Every structure is written in C-alpha cells, then in structure tokens.
Amino acid sequence: MTSPNDSPPESDELSAERHESANIGIIAAQLIIMRIGWIFKTESVIIPHVLDVISGNAAWARGFLPVLNRLGQSLPPLLAADFIRDIRLKKRALIFTTLGMALPFLTLASVWWWLDDRRQPWLIGLFLVLYFLFFSATGLNQLVDGTLQGKLIRPTRRGRLLGIAGVIGSTGAVCAAYFLLRPWIQLPNHDGFVYIFLFNGSAYFIAGLMANLCYERPDEPPADRPARPPWWTPFIRAWHTFRDDQRFRRAAWMATLFMTGLLLFPHYQALAREMLGTSDLDIIWWVIAQNISVGIFSPVFGGIADRYGNRMALRIAAFLAAFTPLIAVLLASSWFPFSRQWFWITYVFLGITPVTMKTISNYTLELVPREKHPQYLSTMTICYTIPFLLSPLLGAIIDYIPWQVPFLAVSGTIACGGLLTFRMAEPRQIDNSQGRHSDY
C-alpha cells in the first residue's frame, strides 16, 4: 500500500522535458559568459587594432586574420569529427575545447605584460600563431557545442537558446565594455591590453568548467569500432557530402557567399581611422553598438527560425548583411556629414554575422540524423572557408586600390547568397510531408 506522501513516478517524457530545460539554462549561461569574454577580442575592432599596434598599421598583417580564423575553425573540426562523434559524453569535449580557447589569451597577457615596447617583428608572428591556435580550439568548440545541442535540445527550442544567450550575453558584454574595456583601452603605451587579454582568457576558463553541469546520458559505444582511417579520409568524406547531398550543397553555397563578408572585418576600423580620423575611444562605441545589435538580432532571428524555419531567418539575415559594406562606403565618404559620429551604424549591421553563423549551424543540424551532425557541421565549415584563402591577397592590395571596390564587391556577393536561399530546402516541411520528426 502506497503512502499518501508518495509521489507518482515521473514519466520519461516529463523527465526529458525538465532535463532539456535545465540544459538550456546551463548552456545559455555558458554562452553568456563566453559572449562577455568575446567582446574583449571582437574580430572587427579589438583584434585588428592590437595587430595594428604591433605591426604599425600594416594591411598585409590584417589580411592574415580572416584566413587564420577560418582555417582554424574548419580544418581541426573536419579532422576531429569522427573522434567527437564517438565520445560518449560530449560535454567533456566541450570542457576541454573551451579551456583551449582560454590558453592563447592567457599566454598573450603574460607576453604583453613582460614587454615594454610592443613593436617587435617577432611578436607579429607569435600573435598570429596564438590567433590560429585560439580559432582551432574555437572551431572544435563550436563543433562540440552544436553536436551537444543536437543531442540535448530539440530543433524548435534551439532558437530560444540563441535568443536567451544573445540578449543576456550582449547586455553583459556591453556593460563590461563600458566599465572595463573603455578605461583599459585608454591606458598609455597600450598597457591595458594585459587586462583585456587576461579577462578574455578567464571568461573562457570559467565557461569551460560550467559545461560539466549539463545533464547528458552517455552514448552507446559503437558495436564494431573501425580502424582509424588515413588522415585524408575526412576530406574525401566532406567532398562526398557536398557532392551527393543537394540540400546540403545549396546551403553550403549560400553560407560560402555570405561568409565573404568576414573578409572585410579587420578593415572597417582601419578604414574609419584613415578616412575619418577616429581614435581609440571610438572603438569602444563600435564594440558596444555591435554587441547591442547581437542582443537584438539574436531573439528576432531565433524567433523567426523557431516559427518559420532557419531558411527564412537566413534569407532575411543575408539581405540585411549585404547593406553593411554599402553603409561603410557611405559613412567613410565626403557625401555624408558627421560621418565619424555615425560610423557606429556599420557595426550595428555587423552584429548580424555571428547570429547568422549560428543559424547556419542550426539549419545544418536539421538536414540529417544526429549521428551525422559532426560530419555535416565540419563539412559546412570547410566549405565556407575556401574564399578566405584570398584574404591575405586582399590585405596586400587594399592599400593600392580604391577601398570602395572590395567593399562593393563583397556587398554584391552577400546579396547573391540571399538569393540562393530561395533554392534551399526547408527541412521541417520535408519532415512533416513524410511523417517524420527531427531527432531529439
């Protein structure tokens, strides 16, 4: 006979719902902390500014940033996709990859503190190496994070996670930029970068430890683990994925065209400094503007993705992002009065890019069953890395051609990516028509 105080056993469905809600909160908290740390290394402002300090405003050095960024985020994930797929607890991989993101910036903080004169030729090489190592860890981290979300969170709730992390993370990042980054970046001799790098690395370190709080059931080990294939096998598999899956191939072309916008990221702040005479203090307001826009766009595009599908969110984002280079051209010209005071509008539109990159990942997750998530996510990153091989060339010639030319060309390329969304499939419509549901 049961006691009246005994509660009925919790159903598996209710238990899964509660665990999913708890995991959303934990992953959101981790992403919020990483977002706050990320503002201290913004790709469009802080990092190119640091490299300009080291190299003496050399455009050729800035040209290496996008290609190292994308190579780091594409090659290591592609090579590690099988290994990550077979890890029984994905959260453990998330811990180590996040800690790996912290190490380069903690190292850079130590080197910057040790040097009095930062205009050292060897420091350019060290900075670029640490930059590549950081984005190698970031690429693995994003692959593991997407795989873990594909395992723990349903497709119709991933947009909610994007919105929560975006709003709160951007709010915290803006506050950190105003109260910490603003005074630090104005310290003489650029000594404030010691604190900037240290804060950044510490944020990733804390976020990495938080991943252990996720509730995750271990995956079943494969019944027959095959022998480790040759190192070139992932590249062949990526090519087969691109060649054989038409739905993925169309999405990859769209993502490739959209991501060309990142080629210009290091050059926006240099353009404003050269044409408008901006200062270090202007940088803070650009960082704040970009992060506020991320906080606004995250729930907007997350809501669109949950309600209408990720394809619709990508379409809107691509056409809006195509205006970014056009706005920079207008504001940096003599046609627009008070351009220096209004250049922050450029960074509002730049905030669309990180939100769209996450939406591309969410779209990719819906194309295939969960066991193929690492393969497809890593293949997507390698696809839209290809145009970044031109980044050093762009950096080398940008000082010798009218700056309007590359900006207008990139704007048109992004717009072409928006047009390609009209040929992309909507996975949810296909699932519903065939009576199937996405993996949970």
Confidence of residue 222 (pLDDT cuts 50, 70, 90): low
Asked if pLDDT for residue 122 goes beyond 50, the answer is yes
Has residue 439 been placed in a domain?
A: no
pLDDT the model gives residue 440 = 39
Q: Is residue 432 part of a domain?
A: no
Q: Specify if 277 maps to a domain.
A: yes
pLDDT value at 334 more than 90: no
Higher pLDDT, 396 or 341: 341
- Two structure tokens written together for 24: 């959303």
Cα–Cα distances in Å, from 195 out to 26, 80, 108, 190? 27, 33, 11, 10
**Tell me: the pLDDT tens digits for 383-412?**
888 888 878 878 777 777 888 888 999 999
Q: Is the predicted pLDDT of residue 438 greater than 60, yes or no?
A: no
Pull the structure tokens for residue 171.
């709010």
Q: Say if 1 falls within a structural domain.
A: no
Give the separation between CA 374 and CA 83, rounded to whole angstroms.
Answer: 9
Domain membership flag for residue 101? yes
Distance of alpha carbon 268 from its chain centroid, rounded?
Answer: 18
339 in any annotated domain = yes
Q: Which amino acid is it at 64?
A: F
**229 within domain boundaries:** no
CA-to-CA dists, residue 419 to 21, 27, 37, 185, 248, angstroms = 36, 33, 34, 41, 16
For residue range 5-33, what is the model confidence (pLDDT) as tens digits? 454 555 555 666 778 888 889 999 999 99
Per-residue pLDDT for 1 more than 70? no
* Amino acid 226: pLDDT: 64
Query: Helices (H), strands (E): how many in the chain?
Result: 21, 0
pLDDT confidence tier of residue 269, bands split at 50, 70 and 90: confident
Cα 221 from Cα 71, distance rounded (Å): 31
- Say if residues 150 and 439 touch (Cβ distance below 8 Å): yes
Residue 2 pLDDT class (50, 70, 90 cuts): very low
> Count of alpha carbons within 13 Å of 376, Cβ hemisphere only?
25
- What's the rounded Cα separation, in Å, for the pair 52 and 62? 8
Cα(353)–Cα(361) distance, integer angstroms: 13
Q: What percent of the chain has pLDDT over 90?
A: 40
More confident residue, 44 or 360: 360
Over its C-alpha atoms, the chain yields an Rg (Å, rounded) of 22
CATH number for the domain spanning 345: value is 1.20.1250.20
Residue 10's pLDDT is what? Answer: 54
CA distance 16 to 34: 26
Band of pLDDT at residue 4, cut at 50, 70 and 90? very low
Q: Is residue 436 part of a domain?
A: no
pLDDT value, residue 7: 46
* Range of the structural domain that residue 115 is part of: 17-216+234-427
The string of pLDDT tens digits covering residues 141-191 is 988 998 898 888 888 788 888 788 888 988 898 899 899 998 999 899 899
Query: Quick check: 375 pLDDT over 90?
Result: no
Please, where are the H alpha helices in 116-264? 121-152, 155-176, 182-185, 193-210, 233-244, 246-259
Domain count, the chain: 1
Distances (CA, A) of 194 to 102, 106, 212, 385: 14, 9, 29, 31
